[in-house]
Amino acid sequence: MIDIRPPIKATNMKKHHALQHLLKRLQKQPKTLAPFVSLLLILSVTALITPGFLEIKFVNGHLYGSLIDILHRGTPTALVALGMAVVIGTRGIDLSVGAVIAISGAVTAVLTVNTDWPVWIVIACALGSGLVCGLWNGLLVSIFNIQPIVATLILMVAGRGIAQMITEGQIVTFHSTALNAIGNEFFLAFPIRVWIALGMIILTIVVMRKTSLGLFIEAVGANVRASRLVGIEARLLVLSAYIFSGFCAALSGIIIAADIRGADANNAGLWLELDAILAVVLAGASLAGGRIYLGLTIIGVLIIQTLTTAILTSGLPVQYNLVVKATIILAVLLIQSPTTRQWLSKRFQSKRRQNPKKGQNSTSSQNHGRADQ
Amino acid sequence: MIDRSIRQHLSWFDTLKQHLLTTVLCVALPVCSVSASAESLTIGFSQIGSESGWRTSETESIKAEAERRGYNLKFSDAQQKQENQIKAVRSFIAQGVDGILLAPVVETGWDQVLKEAKRAHIPVVLVDRGVDANPDLYLTKVASDFREEGALAASWLAAKTNGKCNIVELQGTVGSSAAIDRKAGFDAVISNFPNMKIIRSQSGDFTRAGGKEVMESFLKAESNPKKDICALFSHNDDMALGAILAMKEAGIKPSKDILVVSIDGVPDIFKAMMDGESNATIELNPHLGAPAFDAILAYRAGKTVPKWIKANGPLYLPDTAAAEYNKRK
Amino acid sequence: MAPHSNVKDHSRTTSDHRSALLEIRSLSKSFTGVQALNAVSLQVNKGEIHALLGENGAGKSTLIKVLTGVHPRDEGDIKLDGRAIHARDSGHAQQLGISTVYQEVNLIPSMSVTENLTLQQQEKSFGLINWKKADARARALLARVGLENIDPSRQLDRYSIAIQQLIAIARALSNEAKLLILDEPTASLDASEIKQLFSLMTQLKNQGMGIIFVTHFLDQVYDITDVITVLRNGECVGTFPTASLSRSDLVSHMVGKSLDDLATSSDHQATGKPQNTLLTMQCVGKQRFLHPLDLTIHAGEIVGVAGLLGSGRTELCELAYGSTKPDQGLITLQPESSAKPTAEPTSLIQKSLRQTIQSGMGYCPEDRKLDGIVAELSIRENMILALQASKGWWRSIAMSEQKKLVDDMIKRLAIKTPDMDKPVGELSGGNQQKVILARWLITHPKLLILDEPTRGIDIGAHHEIIQIMQELCEQGMGLLVASSELEELVMFAHRVVVMKDHHKVAELRGSNVSEQAILHTIAS
C-alpha cells in the first residue's frame, strides 16, 4: 500500500495520537496525572499575567523569586498535609492541626522568652506538645471510638484556648538565632525550612512505602474489619497516625512561629487544616479512607500555595481573592472528576466515530510508523 | 518639628485637627463642671470578653477610671456571647443602676433590651463599637473614628514625603469596618496629592504572618523595591510587624528605605520604633471610661449628648516610643 | 453436545407462540480491553421465567447492568414490548418497566420499611408526605409478596436478610414492572422462604410478567424456570427449554467441559486418614453466642460444619479462629509434629490474631465483601496482606518476592485477571474468593477455617474451590468448613459437626456423613 498523504498531515496524526495517548493515560491512571497538569496550567497562566513570575535570581548566595516563595510559604501546609494524608488514609480526619500549630508555636515562644534552655530542648518540647496532642486525638478515636471529625473538633476548639493560656493572650515575640534560621535562612541556595520539609516528606514516603506501614494504613482505611481478621492491629495503627499528624503539625507550628518571630495564638495556622485536607483530596485520595498519595499531596499543596502567591503578586483587588481562588480550585477538582473524564473521552470517541476515515488513517499511520522502526 | 511641617504643607489639616480638638473639648468641658459635684454612681459594664490585649487594657482602663471617680462598677464578661450580654444588661436594669456601658459583640439584635433600658430611664453608652438600632434607644457611642485614623496616617505621610510617595497598603480582613474605614480615610486624604498613590494593596487579615507573606509578594513584584516603594501603610500594627520582617529579610531597611506607618499602638510596634524600624503608629484609644462616664453625667444634668463621641488616640513617633513602650509593658 | 456449537435460539421451540417482551439483538460491551459481552442475543417472552446461567465472568452481571442502564452498551439493540429502549440509569429503566432485585439487598438498612418501599414514589398530600397513606401502600405491597405480618414502620435492619430480600422484591413490584430481574435472590433464603418466593414468581408469571432469574442453584432452575439461557465468556452458548435440557448438559454448557472430570474425586470419604491432632477446642463457648462445645481437627482432614442459617455455624468458626474471643474453654494448636513432637501445645485464647496467624491458622470469613477483601487495594496487596501482617510492618516482603508469590497463586488458583495490580473490587465474586484463599495459602497455614467458601459464586468456581480444598487436605492441611450447601459438604467432608440453636448437636463421621443424616439430625 502506497502512502500518498502529505507529510504535514502525518504530524497532525501524530499529535492526534499524542492526545489519544494522554487521554488513555488519564483514563488509566487519571489520579497521578491530573494534579501535575493542573499545577503546570496554573503556573503558565500566572506567568502570562505576571511577567517575571517564573524568574529565579541568585542573590546573596541563595535563590530568590516567586517560585522560591511558593516553596518557602508552602512548607507549613506541606508538613500538615503529610500528617493529614496518613490520617485520612485510616479513614479519619484531623481538624485539630491548626490548633496544634498554635500550641507548639506558643510553647516555642514562651520557652524561648522565659527560659534560657538551649534551643534544641525548646524545639523538643514543642514537638512533644504536638505528640501529646496527637496521642489525645488518637486515644479518642481508636480507643474510645469517637468519630474522628468530632474527636479532633474538641482539640480544634480547645487547642487554641490552650495556646492562648500559654501566651496569656498576647503575641509573644522572641529572638533566637537558631529559630530565626529555621524560619527564614537559606542552606545550599534553598530555605532551610524547605530542606526540613523535604526531609520529612522523603522520610515519610520511605517509611510508608519501603516498609508495609503504608499498605497497612490503606488496608485499615479501606476495610478495617478485613484488616483486623488478617492480624493487623488497627487500633495501634490509627493511634500512630494521629500521633504522626500531631508531630507534623507541631513542626509546622515551630516554623510558623520562627517565621514571624512570635507566637500568635489566635491566628497561627488558622484554617490550615482545610488547606491540608484540600491538598490531600486534590491528590486523589478519598475522605472515606484507603489509597493515599503522599507525593501528589505535596503537588496539591503547591497548587494551593501557587494560587495564593499568584493572586498576591497579580495585583488583583482584594475582594476578588477568595472567589478567584475557589473558582480555580473548583476547576482543578472538576478536571479530576471521573464524570468529566468520561464525558471528555466520550466526546473524543464520538468524534472519531463520526469521522471513520480519519480513524482508519490514524491506524494505518500507526502501522506505518511501526514498520519504519 | 514634624507637626510644624504638617502645618506648613497642609493648611486643611489644621481644620481637621481643630475639628478633632473641638470634639474632644465639647466632651471634655462638661467633665469639669459636673464631676465637681462628686456624685457616686453605680454603673453596669457589659464587656465582650478578653480576646485581645487591647480589650484587656480597655477593661482595665474603664475599671481604673471608675475607681478614680469612686463609682461602683458592676462588671460582666460575656465571653463573646450576645445572650450573656443581654442577660447582663437586664440584670443591670433590675438592679436599677445609674447607667450602663455596653461593648456590643455584634451589631444587631439589641432593640428589645435597649427599649427595656429606655423604659427604665437608664442611659446606655455604647463603647468602642456601634449597634444597628434606633439611635433614640441609646445615649451615645464612645468610639474611635477609623476614618480619621486612616486620614491621620495619610496626613502624616503626606507631610513626611512632601506629598510625593508610592505607597503599598496592607489591608485588614476584607469587609471588616476597620479595614473599610481606615482605607477610606487614607484614600480621601491622598486624593488631594496627585503624586501620592497606592501602587499595591492586599489583605493580610490583620495578622503578623499575613502581613509578612503579602509584603514578601509586594517586594517580589517590584523590580527595584527600594526605589519603587516609598512607604507602607498597614491597617494594623501586627501586619506592619510582619512586613518589617519581610523587608529585613529582603535586605531592605524598614523606616529608612521604606517608611512604615500603622494603626493600633500595640507594645511591639513601640519596640520596633525604638529599634528604628517603624516610623509612626496611631493609637486605637482604649481609654474610653472617662468620656463614657462624662456622657452619663451630662445626661443626668439634662444636657444633650452627641450620638457619637469620637475618642481617637494620638499619633506616636519614635521620639516617645521608649516611654510609651515602658508604660505598656 | 459440543460446548462451542453455534446453537443460538435455534433450539427453542416452546414459547414461540407467546409474544416477545424483551428482545436483545447482538449486544456488545467491553471494558478497557476485556470483551464482557460479545454479540449476545436473547428473547424473553411475556409470562415466562427465564433462567440466565453462567460461570463467573460469563457476562451475566454485565448483561443486567447494560439492560438497566448502569453501563452504556457499545453495540446492539434492546427492545421492550416492541419498542427500542435506551435506559439511562436504573431509575429510568424502572420507569421503562424493568425492575431489578440484586443479590446484595439494595435497600437502606437504617430507614423504615415504609420509607424504603415508598422512597421513589412518595405518597403526598398537599406537597407533604402522608405517612398514613404511605404505610397503607407499603402494607399492600408487602401483602403481594406474602409478608402480611410485617410492621412497615419498623426499621428495615430489624428484619432478617431473607425478609429484606422479599421487601426488595416488593419494592421492585411497586413500579409498573413488565420485566422483573432477580439476581441471585435465593442466596440467603431458607427453604420455606424460597417456596414463598417461587409461588410469588409463578403468580407474577401468570399475570403475564417476564422474569429473568439469575441463580447458581441448579435445583431451583429446574423447579421454576421455563427457559434457560447459558452465557460463557461473554457469549451466548444457547437458549434451551428447561424441560428438554439435562443437568449434565447444562453444566457442560456452563463450564465448557464434561461434568465427569468434576465427579471423579467426590467419593474419597474413606481415603482421608486423620493423622496428628491439629486443633483442640475444649469446652469452648461464649455467653449468648455459642454454647460450650468440644472439637478436634486433625491434619489432613476436612471437618464440615452444617446447620441452618443462624444455627451457630459462623459463631463456631469465629471462636475457633479467635476473631471473637470465647469467655470459657481452652483452644490449643499443636505445633508441627515433625519439628518438635514433644513441644507444649500453644493455647490461643489469650493470643492476638497476629500470633494465631503466626502459629498457622487462616480464616476465610462468610461475608466476603465486608470481612474479606479490601476492595480498593490490588490483587497483589490483598494476597500479601496476611503474610505481611504476621511478619510485621517493618519486615517488608521484597517486591520481587511478592510478585513471585502472587503470580504463582494466580496460576495455581486460575484467577482470571489481566494483571495483579487490578483492584480486587473489580473482580467477579468467585475470583475474589480465590484471592482470599490465596492470601492464606501464601502464609502456609496448618489449619484453614472457611465459612461458606462457595456462597454466591457459580458452579464452575464452586468445583474449583472444592478441588483446591481437597488438594490442600491431601497435602496435610486441616480444614474447618462451614457451609449451607449440604450436597457439597457431604461430598468433601470427612466429619460433619451439626449445629442447631447455637449448640453442637452431633458429630457425624465416616459412612454416617450423608445429607439425609444431617437433615435428620437438624430436624430431630
- In this structure, are A52 and A180 located in the same domain? yes
∠ CA(A55), CA(A60), CA(A61), 5° rounding? 85
Last residue of a domain, one of C225, C240, C258: C258
Q: Hey, is the C-beta of A370 within 8 angstroms of any chain C C-beta?
A: no
* A287 has a pLDDT exceeding 70: yes
Question: What phi and psi, each to the nearest 5 degrees, are found at residue C228?
Answer: -125, 130
**Residue at A16 is within a domain:** no
- In this structure, are C497 and C516 located in the same domain? yes
Residue-level pLDDT at A364: 38
* Contact flag A266-B201 (C-beta cutoff 8 Å): no
Contact C303, C297 (CB under 8 A): yes
* Contact flag C386-A218 (C-beta cutoff 8 Å): no
pLDDT digits (tens, 9 = 90+) for B189-230: 999 999 999 999 999 999 999 999 999 999 988 888 899 999
SS3 A24: helix
The subunits that touch chain B, with at least 3 C-beta pairs less than 8 Å apart, are A
- In this structure, are C388 and C504 located in the same domain? no
- In this structure, are B52 and B23 located in the same domain? yes
Higher pLDDT, C483 or B190: B190
**Residue at A371 is within a domain:** no
Query: In terms of DSSP bridges, do strands C128-129 and C124-125 run parallel, antiparallel, or are they unpaired?
Result: antiparallel
* B30 has a pLDDT exceeding 70: no
Cα gap C172→C72, rounded to integer Å: 22
Q: Hey, is the C-beta of A229 within 8 angstroms of any chain C C-beta?
A: yes
Instruction: Return the top range by mean pLDDT from A235-239, C6-10, C125-129.
Output: A235-239
pLDDT band, very low/low/confident/very high, at C56 (cuts 50, 70, 90): low
When pLDDT is averaged across residues C447-463 and rounded to a whole number, the result is 84
Our count of domains for chain A comes to: 2
When pLDDT is averaged across residues C95-99 and rounded to a whole number, the result is 87
The domain in which residue C467 lies consists of 266-360+445-523
- In this structure, are A184 and A294 located in the same domain? yes
pLDDT band, very low/low/confident/very high, at A5 (cuts 50, 70, 90): very low
- In this structure, are C383 and C516 located in the same domain? no
- In this structure, are C1 and C79 located in the same domain? yes
Of C323, C376, C390, the CB nearest to A290: C376
- In this structure, are A239 and A348 located in the same domain? no
CA distance B287 to chain A (A): 19
* C197 has a pLDDT exceeding 60: yes
Beta strand extents in A170-230 (DSSP E only): 172-173, 186-187, 190-191
Our count of domains for chain B comes to: 2
User: For residue A230, which residues of chain C lie inside 8 Å, CB to CB?
Assistant: 353, 357, 385-386, 389, 439
Residue-level pLDDT at A26: 56
Pick the residue from chain A with its C-alpha nearest to B269.
Answer: A173
* Contact flag B213-A73 (C-beta cutoff 8 Å): yes
Pick the residue from chain C with its C-alpha nearest to A27.
Answer: C32
- In this structure, are B155 and B94 located in the same domain? no
How remote is the C-alpha of C114 from its chain's centroid? 28
Q: Hey, is the C-beta of C359 within 8 angstroms of any chain A C-beta?
A: no
* Contact flag B209-A50 (C-beta cutoff 8 Å): no
- In this structure, are A192 and A223 located in the same domain? yes
Listing DSSP states for B234-290 in one string gives ESSHHHHHHHHHHHHHTT--BTTTBEEEEEE--HHHHHHHHTT---EEEE-----HH
SS3 A251: helix
- In this structure, are C355 and C461 located in the same domain? yes
Chain C contact probe: residue of A230, A232, A293 with most C CBs at under 10 A:
A230
User: For residue A27, which residues of chain C lie inside 8 Å, CB to CB?
Assistant: 32
Cα gap B237→B240, rounded to integer Å: 5
Indicate which CATH number applies to the domain containing C2: 3.40.50.300
Cα gap A72→A55, rounded to integer Å: 15
User: For residue A222, which residues of chain C lie inside 8 Å, CB to CB?
Assistant: 374-377
Cα gap B189→C424, rounded to integer Å: 70
Q: Which residues contact C399 (CB under 8 A, 6 or more apart)?
A: none
- In this structure, are C427 and C460 located in the same domain? no
Residue-level pLDDT at A17: 65
Question: Would you state the cell numbers that stand for residue A187, as one nine-digit string?
Answer: 542552606
CA dist list (Å): A195 to A84, A257, A261, B235, C461: 20, 17, 19, 34, 54
User: For residue B242, which residues of chain A lie inside 8 Å, CB to CB?
Assistant: 260
Weakest mean pLDDT among A46-50, A160-164, B19-23, C441-445: B19-23
Q: Hey, is the C-beta of B207 within 8 angstroms of any chain A C-beta?
A: yes
**Residue at B1 is within a domain:** no
- In this structure, are B140 and B183 located in the same domain? no
Q: Residue B65 corresponds to which amino acid?
A: E
Question: Would you state the cell numbers that stand for residue B104, as one nine-digit string?
Answer: 456590643
Residue-level pLDDT at A372: 36
pLDDT digits (tens, 9 = 90+) for B289-299: 999 999 999 99
Chain B contact probe: residue of A259, A306, A321 with most B CBs at under 10 A:
A259
Q: Which residues contact A37 (CB under 8 A, 6 or more apart)?
A: A335
Beta bridge partners of C78: C24
Beta bridge partners of C227: C50, C241
Residue-level pLDDT at A258: 95
User: For residue B221, which residues of chain A lie inside 8 Å, CB to CB?
Assistant: 50, 313, 315
When pLDDT is averaged across residues C413-427 and rounded to a whole number, the result is 88
User: For residue C376, which residues of chain A lie inside 8 Å, CB to CB?
Assistant: 218, 222, 290-291
Indicate which CATH number applies to the domain containing A154: 1.10.3470
Last residue of a domain, one of C443, C460, C482: C443
Helices and strands counted in chain C (H then E): 17, 22
Residue-level pLDDT at C488: 83
- In this structure, are B239 and B157 located in the same domain? yes
Q: Hey, is the C-beta of B249 within 8 angstroms of any chain A C-beta?
A: yes
Interface of B with A in 109-138 (CB under 8 A): none
Question: Would you state the cell numbers that stand for residue C246, as one nine-digit string?
Answer: 439435562
Q: Hey, is the C-beta of C70 within 8 angstroms of any chain A C-beta?
A: no
| Nearest alpha carbon to residue C313 among C497, C494, C456 | C497
- In this structure, are C274 and C292 located in the same domain? yes
- In this structure, are C299 and C339 located in the same domain? yes
User: For residue A224, which residues of chain C lie inside 8 Å, CB to CB?
Assistant: none
Q: Which residues contact C293 (CB under 8 A, 6 or more apart)?
A: C281, C283, C284, C285, C316, C503, C504
CA distance A36 to chain C (A): 23
Contact B184, B217 (CB under 8 A): no
**Residue at C149 is within a domain:** no
The helix-helix angle for A294-314 and A272-282 (nearest 10°) equals 120
- In this structure, are B182 and B57 located in the same domain? no
Pick the residue from chain A with its C-alpha nearest to B223.
Answer: A52
User: For residue A255, which residues of chain B lie inside 8 Å, CB to CB?
Assistant: none
Long-range contacts of C59-62 (CB under 8 A, 24+ apart): C59/C231, C59/C233, C59/C234, C59/C235, C60/C183, C60/C214, C60/C231, C61/C183, C61/C428, C62/C29, C62/C36, C62/C37, C62/C234
**Residue at B321 is within a domain:** no
SS3 C301: strand
**Residue at B74 is within a domain:** yes
Pick the residue from chain A with its C-alpha nearest to B219.
Answer: A313
Of A52, A261, A313, the CB nearest to B217: A313
Our count of domains for chain C comes to: 3
- In this structure, are A309 and A347 located in the same domain? no
Chain A contact probe: residue of C380, C385, C397, C399 with most A CBs at under 10 A:
C385
When pLDDT is averaged across residues C370-389 and rounded to a whole number, the result is 93
- In this structure, are C351 and C433 located in the same domain? no
* B18 has a pLDDT exceeding 50: no
**Residue at C107 is within a domain:** no
Q: How many CB pairs under 8 A join A and B?
A: 80
- In this structure, are A345 and A242 located in the same domain? no
Listing DSSP states for C41-67 in one string gives EEEEETTEEEEEEE-TTSSHHHHHHHH
The domain in which residue B130 lies consists of 11-144+286-312
pLDDT digits (tens, 9 = 90+) for B277-315: 999 999 998 899 999 999 999 999 999 999 999 988 899
Chain B contact probe: residue of A53, A157, A182, A312 with most B CBs at under 10 A:
A312
* C87 has a pLDDT exceeding 90: no
* Contact flag B217-A184 (C-beta cutoff 8 Å): no
The helix-helix angle for A66-89 and A234-260 (nearest 10°) equals 160
| Nearest alpha carbon to residue C230 among C513, C1, C70 | C1
Of B56, B214, B221, the CB nearest to A169: B56
pLDDT digits (tens, 9 = 90+) for C320-366: 999 999 988 889 887 654 444 455 666 777 888 999 999 899 999 98
Q: How many CB pairs under 8 A join A and C?
A: 83
Q: Which residues contact B254 (CB under 8 A, 6 or more apart)?
A: B232, B243, B244, B247, B248, B260, B272, B277, B278
| Nearest alpha carbon to residue A101 among A274, A233, A222, A283 | A274
**Residue at B317 is within a domain:** no
| Nearest alpha carbon to residue C31 among C435, C378, C427, C381 | C427
Beta bridge partners of C280: C296, C332
- In this structure, are B85 and B169 located in the same domain? no
Residue-level pLDDT at C275: 66
Question: Half-sphere exposure of A47 toward its Cβ, with a 13 Å CA cutoff?
Answer: 11
**Residue at A52 is within a domain:** yes
Question: Half-sphere exposure of C365 toward its Cβ, with a 13 Å CA cutoff?
Answer: 20
pLDDT digits (tens, 9 = 90+) for A33-72: 788 888 999 999 999 988 888 888 888 788 888 899 999 9
Higher pLDDT, C32 or C354: C354
CA distance A24 to chain C (A): 10
Neighbours of C440 (CB within 10 A): 23
pLDDT digits (tens, 9 = 90+) for A192-244: 999 999 999 999 999 998 899 999 999 999 999 999 999 999 999 999 999 99
* Contact flag A232-C373 (C-beta cutoff 8 Å): no
Beta bridge partners of B168: B200, B232
pLDDT band, very low/low/confident/very high, at C257 (cuts 50, 70, 90): low
State the DSSP code for C398.
P
Interface of A with C in 263-302 (CB under 8 A): 290-291
User: For residue B208, which residues of chain A lie inside 8 Å, CB to CB?
Assistant: 171, 260, 262, 264, 267
∠ CA(B299), CA(B300), CA(B303), 5° rounding? 45
User: For residue A52, which residues of chain B lie inside 8 Å, CB to CB?
Assistant: 223
- In this structure, are C403 and C294 located in the same domain? no
Residue-level pLDDT at A21: 63
User: For residue A211, which residues of chain C lie inside 8 Å, CB to CB?
Assistant: 393-394, 396
- In this structure, are B102 and B180 located in the same domain? no
Q: Residue C99 corresponds to which amino acid?
A: S
- In this structure, are C453 and C439 located in the same domain? no
Residue-level pLDDT at A43: 93
The distance in angstroms from the start CA to the end CA of chain C is 44
CA distance A204 to chain C (A): 14
Chains C and B make contact, 3+ CB pairs within 8 Å? no
**Residue at B36 is within a domain:** yes
The H-or-E segment that residue A247 falls in is helix A234-260
Higher pLDDT, A200 or B77: A200
Q: What is the ipTM of this complex?
A: 0.80
| Nearest alpha carbon to residue C304 among C485, C501, C522 | C485
- In this structure, are B159 and B249 located in the same domain? yes
Listing DSSP states for C123-160 in one string gives -EETTEE-HHHHHHHHHHHHHHTT-TT--TTSBGGGS-
pLDDT band, very low/low/confident/very high, at A122 (cuts 50, 70, 90): very high
Instruction: Return the top range by mean pLDDT from A57-66, B232-241, C446-455.
Output: B232-241
Beta bridge partners of C364: C450
Q: Residue B183 corresponds to which amino acid?
A: K
**Residue at C418 is within a domain:** yes
Pick the residue from chain A with its C-alpha nearest to B198.
Answer: A315
The H-or-E segment that residue C79 falls in is strand C75-80
* Contact flag A169-B52 (C-beta cutoff 8 Å): yes
- In this structure, are A328 and A217 located in the same domain? no
User: For residue A106, which residues of chain B lie inside 8 Å, CB to CB?
Assistant: none
- In this structure, are B94 and B212 located in the same domain? no
* Contact flag A213-C393 (C-beta cutoff 8 Å): yes
**Residue at B324 is within a domain:** no
Indicate which CATH number applies to the domain containing B15: 3.40.50.2300
* B68 has a pLDDT exceeding 80: yes
When pLDDT is averaged across residues C211-216 and rounded to a whole number, the result is 87
Question: Would you state the cell numbers that stand for residue A12, as one nine-digit string?
Answer: 497532525
Weakest mean pLDDT among C64-73, C115-124, C286-295: C115-124
Q: What is the mean pLDDT of chain A?
A: 86
Q: What is the mean pLDDT of chain B?
A: 86
- In this structure, are C438 and C450 located in the same domain? no
Last residue of a domain, one of C380, C415, C443: C443
- In this structure, are B107 and B122 located in the same domain? yes
* C514 has a pLDDT exceeding 50: yes
- In this structure, are B47 and B96 located in the same domain? yes
**Residue at B174 is within a domain:** yes
Query: In terms of DSSP bridges, do strands B99-102 and B124-127 run parallel, antiparallel, or are they unpaired?
Result: parallel
Q: What is the mean pLDDT of chain C?
A: 83
The H-or-E segment that residue C228 falls in is strand C227-232
| Nearest alpha carbon to residue A89 among A241, A302, A300, A295 | A241
The H-or-E segment that residue B46 falls in is strand B42-47
Residue-level pLDDT at C33: 62
Of A171, A259, A309, the CB nearest to B212: A259
State the DSSP code for A140.
I
The domain in which residue A162 lies consists of 32-315
Last residue of a domain, one of A292, A315, A338: A315
**Residue at B124 is within a domain:** yes
**Residue at A4 is within a domain:** no
